[in-house]
Structure 1
Amino acid sequence: MRISTKTTYDIGSTQINKLQSALNRTQQQLSSNRRNLTPADDPIASARALEVTQSQSINTQFVTNRQNAKNFLGQELQALNTTQQLIADVKELVDKAGNGTYTDSERAMLATELEVRLNDLLAVANTSDGAGGYLFSGYKSTTVPYSMNAAGGGATYQGDQGQRTLQVGMSRQLATSDAGSTVFDNNMTGNGSFVTAPDPGNFGRGGGGKISAGTVTNPVALTGHNYSIAFSGTGAATTYLVTDTTLGVTVPSPAAPAPYISGAAISFDGQQFDVKGAPANGDTFTVAPSRKESLFTTLSTALTVLRQPASGTAGQARLSNGLDAVHVILDTAFDNVLAVQADVGSRLKELDYLDSAGEDLELQYAGTLSDLQDLDIVKAISLFTQQETTLKAAQQTYTKVMGLSLFNYIN
């Protein structure tokens, strides 16, 4: 069989080119540490690697989201801690103000200090979130949450009830804020079921009666109505009559005035409380369903109580009734802030768990990508050496074959 010189050249150069291409490919694999240089090398592995890479990117974004969530919740936790300390300071001032030996001017000084605490509380409620918004304004993040009322009487909430959230996991959205109304305005008056209060006119009549916060004796019997307890007579002849002002009937109906005994329990419709001291003829006390009251309103009420004259039996009774009511709401407010604080703490704890799970997932993704893409270095180096030797041998033999000629044997 004859083989032309051109065919010999073509076959040799083609083979050398193939060997050179294979060597170059192995060299590229070694330099990139990748088994598949193009999707065509292994379409299934390449598609799977793309899916894993996308999942890995999403997991990385969740890491960023969780860090942002921790920043927001950490700021809120600090604000709540400050709020708790402010409430504790106010309770201490209220306790001091109840000292019967204090003069009106001394209580006025306590009121001045309390006003500073009120302004401090407003600053905490309007804390910035560090991202151009406010922590406690709900979805209205750029709106200042609270503004003091011009006529006094507390502050007005200007945010909404929303809780901002972040996607911190594949199937988990976490609240990164709490509405100011949940933190500062969610405080029930009285004992949480009903609230007792003296009529403001008792002071003018010289009444010295002090009413307790009371307790619920039978939740089923509670009506949610408003009541008044009217006192008549003086001294040992003092009596009282309970009236359901919602229905306009006495309790029980009909009822005769009951003799008043200082400190004795007054019970009706599932609720019980007592009145101590000496109510004046015509004095009244009220009982109404508990309602939510803003902490700012409570502090403003405390300021009003501290700045009122408290001389004499009537003044001391008004002071005691006012401070007792304030103290009860402060206790409720403290517990409410503590509950929100515990909730924020649980969210931070959950973020720690999600971080741990995210780290495990990252390792899993990295391992999967390594299996799909990474090169077996030992095998590749061995192949590279083999291909390099083969190429050199081919080049050398090609040179010798191309040097063969009939003219070399003709003398």
Structure 2
Amino acid sequence: MRISTNTLYETGTAGLLRQSTDLFRLQQQLSTGRRVLAPSDDPVASARALEIDQSKSMNDQYALNRRDATSALGFAESQLATAGELLGTIRERLVQARSAALADSDRKAIATDIRAMFSEMMGIANSRDAFGDYLFSGYKSTTQPFSGSVEAGVSYAGDDGQREAQVASNRRLAISDSGSSVFMRAPSGNGNFSLTPDPANRGTAVLDSGGVSDMSKWSDPNNPGDFDIVFAVSGGVTTYDIIDNSSGNSLLTGAAPGGAPLPRVFQKGDTITLRSNGGSEPPFDFGARFSMTGAPADGDRVSMKISSAQSVFDTIGDVILALEQPASGDANALAKVSNAIGSAMSNIDQATDNLLTARARIGSRSTELSALDSLGDEVNLQFETSLSNLRDLNYTEAISKLTQNLSYFQAAQQSFMKVSGLSLFNYIGA
């Protein structure tokens, strides 16, 4: 077989170029730390690495969402904590306002103080987050949720929605609470029922908040939850009846209410209970009771109803208006103010519990976010490990291969020099 000089040169050059290319590729691998520099280097590993990269990018985005969600929940929790502290301060002022030693001017001064707190509470309820969205407006993040005044009352313009964030591949988490659930739906009274003296009452009776001794009895389906306690005073004796407003009949007689004297006698310090005292009274027991100080007048009435949703703004506004009414020297007016304060204090207790419940919900979400962060970090580590196994360079192997290829390259260079130097002209004339 005859090999031309041209072929010899081309073959040698091509071999040197291949060796140079291999050395250049090894040098790139060593400088980048990557085994796979192009999809053609390892198509299977490149395809798998692309899938993992996409999953890792999504996991990183969920981490950012969790960070933003944690920030939003933290801000909401701080606002609710401030609202709770504000309600505690209002309650302290109401305890002071209930003192019989205060004059009308003192109560008005307290009312002025509470008006400022009312405005502060409105500010909290209308607070915005870092993006300028209203915190407690539900889905209507650009709509101011609360508007109004002490005299006109406060209305809610948001909705009941809860904004959510995708914090994991299979988890969406609420990052807001609607203002209606936080500020407008606290249970009234003691949480089971509320007591409301008739505005036309002429006596000096002051009610406590009452209570339920047996929830199973109060929750009885036969309990209508809507009663009027009516009082009659005749011959110096105070009697009362308990009217079931759903049927219009007396609980104490089972018949339509009659005139004085009423079925039960009331004496100072007595507790009014919603259960039968035996004798001629029909059997019933709803497990509820309340007490009074002072004395009811003839015809006075007290409404007793199952707790309904109460706005914290109505609670504060109503007691402000009551404190601003003149009452000094008028026992009946003082009793009405005291009852308004007592009702407000009960409602504030329920509103405070409602805020604490909302904060507890936020706390549970924050805890879940922390757990998801830990899980996300573990998943991210797994992704990075998988990507490293697919793409990263084994330096020991690469350096050994580089040394080997350098030897090949040097041998190729030397052999090419020897072969290219072979020529008949070198021996002519020798």
Category of TM-score, reference length = shorter chain: over 0.9
Shift of 1:234: 4.4
For 2:282, the equivalent position in structure 1 comes to: none
For 2:247, the equivalent position in structure 1 comes to: 247
Shift of 1:212: 3.0
Shift of 1:117: 0.5
CA distance in 2, matches of 1:148, 1:401: 100
**2:190–2:211: 8 Å Cα contact kept in structure 1?**
yes
1:139 is aligned with what amino acid?
Y
Cα distance per residue 1:205-237 (max 9 Å; x no partner): 3x1122332223422165234322222224632
Equivalences for 1:255-294 in 2 at 5 Å? 257=262, 258-268=264-274, 270=286, 271-294=288-311
For 1:328, the equivalent position in structure 2 comes to: 346
Kindly indicate whether residue 350 of structure 2 is the aligned counterpart of residue 351 of structure 1. Answer: no
CA distance in 1, matches of 2:184, 2:250: 34
CA distance in 2, matches of 1:191, 1:106: 28
SS at match of 2:28: helix
Equivalences for 1:166-245 in 2 at 5 Å? 166-202=165-201, 205=202, 207-216=203-212, 217=214, 218-219=217-218, 220=220, 223-234=223-234, 236-245=236-245
CA distance in 1, matches of 2:73, 2:314: 26
1:260 is aligned with what amino acid?
F
1:273 is aligned with what amino acid?
F
**1:209–1:278: 8 Å Cα contact kept in structure 2?**
yes
Can you give the 5+ residue segments of structure 2 that lack an aligned partner in the other structure? 275-284
Equivalences for 1:321-400 in 2 at 5 Å? 321-400=339-418
1:409 is aligned with what amino acid?
Y
Equivalences for 1:45-60 in 2 at 5 Å? 45-60=45-60
Pair 1:225–1:299, CA change in 2 (3 A)? same
Deviates more, 1:152-161 or 1:252-261: 252-261
**2:224–2:244: 8 Å Cα contact kept in structure 1?**
no
TM score, norm. by length of structure 1: 0.94
Deviates more, 1:121-130 or 1:241-250: 241-250
Between the two proteins, the alignment pairs up a number of residues equal to 407
Among all aligned residue pairs of Structure 1 and Structure 2, give the percentage whose two residues are the same amino acid: 41
Shift of 1:397: 1.7
Kindly indicate whether residue 303 of structure 2 is the aligned counterpart of residue 299 of structure 1. Answer: no
Deviates more, 1:212-221 or 1:56-65: 212-221
2:423 is aligned with what amino acid?
S
**2:186–2:350: 8 Å Cα contact kept in structure 1?**
yes
Kindly indicate whether residue 69 of structure 2 is the aligned counterpart of residue 73 of structure 1. Answer: no
Deviates more, 1:184-193 or 1:228-237: 228-237
Shift of 1:181: 1.1
CA distance in 2, matches of 1:222, 1:89: 40
SS at match of 1:238: strand
Can you give the 5+ residue segments of structure 1 that lack an aligned partner in the other structure? none
2:5 is aligned with what amino acid?
T
CA distance in 2, matches of 1:396, 1:45: 38
Kindly indicate whether residue 108 of structure 2 is the aligned counterpart of residue 108 of structure 1. Answer: yes
Kindly indicate whether residue 4 of structure 2 is the aligned counterpart of residue 7 of structure 1. Answer: no
For the aligned residue pairs, the C-alpha RMSD in angstroms reads 1.8
SS at match of 1:35: coil
SS at match of 2:242: strand
- Following TM superposition, the consecutive aligned residue runs of length 4 or more in structure 1 with deviations greater than 3 angstroms are none
Larger helix percent? 1
